[in-house]
Structure 1
């Protein structure tokens, strides 16, 4: 035997196991001794039946068997093994030179057929062939397993990156939406409400869960284009000019451009782009009409209009649900799809407005952001537009119960004597005095030279103390005041206040 060859083969057979089936005791002992020089695990069986029992109980890399044996011959054993494992490495060692047995062994796809008496060098060559085949198979299997694992890991990584990318997109877009709504506290939550209304209308119509979720996402993002609308326009308390209207209308195109650049938002972009179109073609940006308008957009335009009607805006007070539904019905067939509107009205009749009625600034910063465009440029107190907004809102909420008007008498004479510059300085100094002296009040300049002081609790003014203020000395100006109890006096807007006093 070639000891160097045995050593070389042994290096390949770590963890290999072999089953040797032989009924001749002397040959079995000498052969098993030889096999143990090569393999770390060698199992022995005296006959085919015992060999099969061991094979069924254990796993072997190579099986070596004789042909002619008691209880079960080698060919029968091989047939049973092949039923369990078609790829099992099998070597036959036999004194039987019958051509029929040799042919049957070949048909059973044995690796080698060794004729007794045993030539160990020949067995070694055949064993090496089987060992190399098993090693290659194991390496391929390991590679395949590793490759599969690598593919799974790479796929998992790609999916994780895609999910992270989706999350990043969503977080970025949703952050933009929150930034937009934080610019105007009184319309905060508008996008979420439009999304919810749109989803509920879609559900009422009978759309699938996936379709309802799609329109909800579009609703969340429908005003994202307002990120480019200037605060001076978005928060303007008065009527917009034609140019300002054009800038506001541009938000649908901006939103479309933002969303269409993100592959996952292509469908949403189309919905957002058309949510200000009208059923009769009078909307924007493209003036399309009827079924030319995407179905989802026809749902969303109704949800958007309803929320605008039923919430306070910087330029108007809110409508009741009944009034909003009445106005929607008036626009059926002109602005809105009549069939969709029927389903929408069923949804709107069930809306709970408890949360909507809580739309107020939550902090000093919120209040200052909202009222920035309501400040009187001369005195830095609030102007008549904000007073009108507060009175309209107070009609429902009754947050303020006390209203005092301070009238500056003889101010026109003072103006004529000292000019507009002197008059402006007087108003500025007087407003500063009021802000310091009446810090618990909300102060407004109205009608040019009069002031309103609003309080949440009853507080009267000491007009004599005000008239003793140094500013009035030698000015010829003096104050008179009038008090209104807002819990009983019906003053719901600036016009009503004006009618009562002028």
Structure 2
């Protein structure tokens, strides 16, 4: 056996030379090397051995039109063949006519001897066959040589399979990225109804769905697109599948077979643990989308919901901002940066560097101040980016990056309607544009990019490079400048300000002088408030509890956990469940001598009580809450049957004392939870 010829064949496989000849030339070489009548590759898939690629002489002498049974053999007919080749890696049949499992089709073709090696890596692709119409023997060297070639073919098939997967993923990503580009280029309307309908049509087109429905609870919105368009409110969705998904707070994507010809995919959008919106995609045939595709679609739809919410908020903000615009916008900056410790202070850093650059370029004081303000506001649109993307510690996927690229447009939309800042809007929109047109969102080039945006781009990149990130330490200014020299920024500006950027690196950033105290108070209240009930949230409770502990005050931390909420949501619907939660919140707000009333989970409230009559107070609120809730249910026609209400309405009330039981806020919460659990278990045992 000529090892050089084997190596030559292996090289032809590795160099992809089989691509134009469909393996034929390589299989001819293999047949010639082994001195047999032909060679072929049988691919195993769909329960068959498919006679896929063959040498020229074999294809010529055994045409498919005359020997159809050779080209597609059920694996069940080759059970012994399959077992042996999988066990040994090859099979040798030197006397095929007397082989007990010989196939009639091959006997009729005149097969006398056969040697086959398995084509296998992580998966079995099939087998490489040598065919002889004369009886012949194969020695060990020939067997080993065929196995080596089969391994080369398996490696190549691995590579081609991987390339196909990459192409498929690129194609999918391209589709989703094109969708994101589509919604990024759409004009944002303050009446967004048409924008929502057009975008849903695009999603329907993208997913090849026959029908799409969309429910957004907090916006009281229900949209359905098939042959007709329905744009309505939540009430008109009550008979739909998506309403039930929302009502039961279902968190996972699910597939439902509606009938023999229709399949629905139900995709919830979550905010924390709460389902806030649901999409339904209906197809006229059974759909088998991979889990990864569904995850990408869910991410895309989450972003869409986030944009709706953001655009509506932009309108509200624009209506409210007047003389306090600047301070309230700083509150938005703080809120956005508070999400991510690694970008905290970034906006003020960029603003400061931008003003330094503007001063170096001899812009007047008013222009310097405008560019400073643009730096402060350039990233406020990130408030619309989902946390799992904004806070991702590693590199973003292409799809996630396209979502991130939407933030300059949101920043632009938030600023352009505000009289004091409208002149900054384009500068903010274009701070990610690049001189060669490779930037976003509009792909502008050179001088078409505003001077302010070109200044911001340099300031933004310089601060990003010199600041710590989760995946790397911040660079020193010299290294950052070297990288900036290779970026598509305005080089004339850059080379003019290099020394100034280095000289001002890491210097104290001036604190804002224009945030009125009442606005800072408003910002903190907003961050610490549960928007549904108007009570405080868990973070506020922990902060206040830690203050009490630090000041060595004695107190009891109470937990009020509403009974049977899962049952109420299931039987009467989440709207009724939400109403019960609001009833409890209203009653608790009436209590005197309590502090830090907070909604800590979906169905539970907690507060601090610092008086000595703890047990008497517990009895009082137990009776007060029960009677108050029943009274409200009765007076507000809460649908719940009055007799059943008396049995199911109520609260588990527990408390943990400090310092007697713990001097740790989290442990006190845990103790209350454990005591509530014990109450529930005792209640079950006594039934």
User: Normalization by structure 1: what TM-score?
Assistant: 0.37
Name whichever structure is richer in strand by fraction.
2
